[in-house]
Amino acid sequence: MSSGIITVVGSYVVDLMSRTPHMPKPGETVLGGPFRMGPGGKGGNQAVAAARQGSRVCMVTKVGNDPFGQAAVKHFQAEHISTDYVFVDDAEATGAALIAVDDNGENMIVVALGACGKLSAEDVAQAEQMIKRSTVVLVQLETSMEAVRKTLELAGTYGVPVILNPAPYQPIPEELLKGVTYITPNETEAFLLTGIEITDEESAYRAASVLYRRGVKHVVITLGKKGCYYYEGGPSGILYPGFHVDAVDTTGAGDAFNGGLAHALAEGRSIRQALRYANAVAALSVTKIGTAPAMPSREEVERFLQNQPIDTTATGA
């Protein structure tokens, strides 16, 4: 299969990560380590995940005029991601994420957006022709809402499908949801968007139905190691089970899923095939430490899927 162009409009931040035996309580200092520094940000991570599957990817983001920003450009180029629309802000520093990962592989993250939080509608408008040529556009909520709005506007003008990963959660204006083709909240984000706590397939169905009625054509609620729940209207949805792996770091798993989904859709796979592929990319990402550096290659994903039983366990609500 040949893949089209994926334009990712989103964040780039530097990940500053340390292991910790347990998450610190308020006022507590914990001795941890080792410390790792590397490329991150939801947009950047998702771009790498898609590029490593073989997709042609263009990144639209903003970095600071500093060593971290210069490293960002080199990082994207090394991953064969177009940097034509990586803008430089002379006033703001490149964003950073402070990440703690405990012995169970769970994480806590604080993000200082810096320059990518200043990505503007005018910046996105400069990428109009790239968005027009794209097969899929992928966007998150880790930049300004005006950048998200402009992305949806341009994609809608040219009939380009949009995947919105509503993370980190921000209130989304109702009119924007009508321009979203695929929305991919996790359980927490789905609850914040709908007020429905996800505890089982029935509650996932009810939450997905709310988002569908608000105008989203395809709802995908990610459920961690349990897989994902898919809904496109009607009396029920489908639960696509995840894959069992030994997780060492769950940071970036959602980004891996979204990048894998964008790639599979751009390649022309059916939604069933695309969600299975995305589940596999996410599963493999948690077997390594880090975010962007942990994204698997296409060869790793295909080899992994060849060793998995055919998906016959997807269930309706």
Please give the positions annotated as active site.
255
142 belongs to an annotated ligand binding site:
yes
* The amino acid at 241: P
42 belongs to an annotated ligand binding site:
yes
251 belongs to an annotated ligand binding site:
yes
Does residue 171 contact residue 244 with C-beta atoms inside 8 Å? Answer: no
Does residue 242 contact residue 284 with C-beta atoms inside 8 Å? Answer: no
223 belongs to an annotated ligand binding site:
yes
Instruction: Identify the bridge partners of residue 267 per DSSP, sorted by sequence position.
Output: none
290 belongs to an annotated ligand binding site:
yes
33 belongs to an annotated ligand binding site:
no
224 belongs to an annotated ligand binding site:
yes
226 belongs to an annotated ligand binding site:
yes
Whole-angstrom Cα distance, residue 116 to residue 47?
A: 15
279 belongs to an annotated ligand binding site:
yes
313 belongs to an annotated ligand binding site:
no
307 belongs to an annotated ligand binding site:
no
Whole-angstrom Cα distance, residue 12 to residue 196?
A: 31
107 belongs to an annotated ligand binding site:
no
Residues 6+ apart with CB under 8 A from 278: 228, 257, 258, 260, 261, 264
288 belongs to an annotated ligand binding site:
yes
CA angle 146, 10, 283 (to 5 degrees): 140
103 belongs to an annotated ligand binding site:
no
178 belongs to an annotated ligand binding site:
no
227 belongs to an annotated ligand binding site:
yes
249 belongs to an annotated ligand binding site:
yes
Q: Residues marked as binding for ATP?
A: 186, 222-227, 254-255, 279
List the binding residues for substrate: 13-15, 41-45, 142, 255
Q: Please enumerate, by residue number, every residue annotated as part of a binding site.
A: 13-15, 41-45, 142, 186, 222-227, 249, 251, 254-255, 279, 285, 288, 290
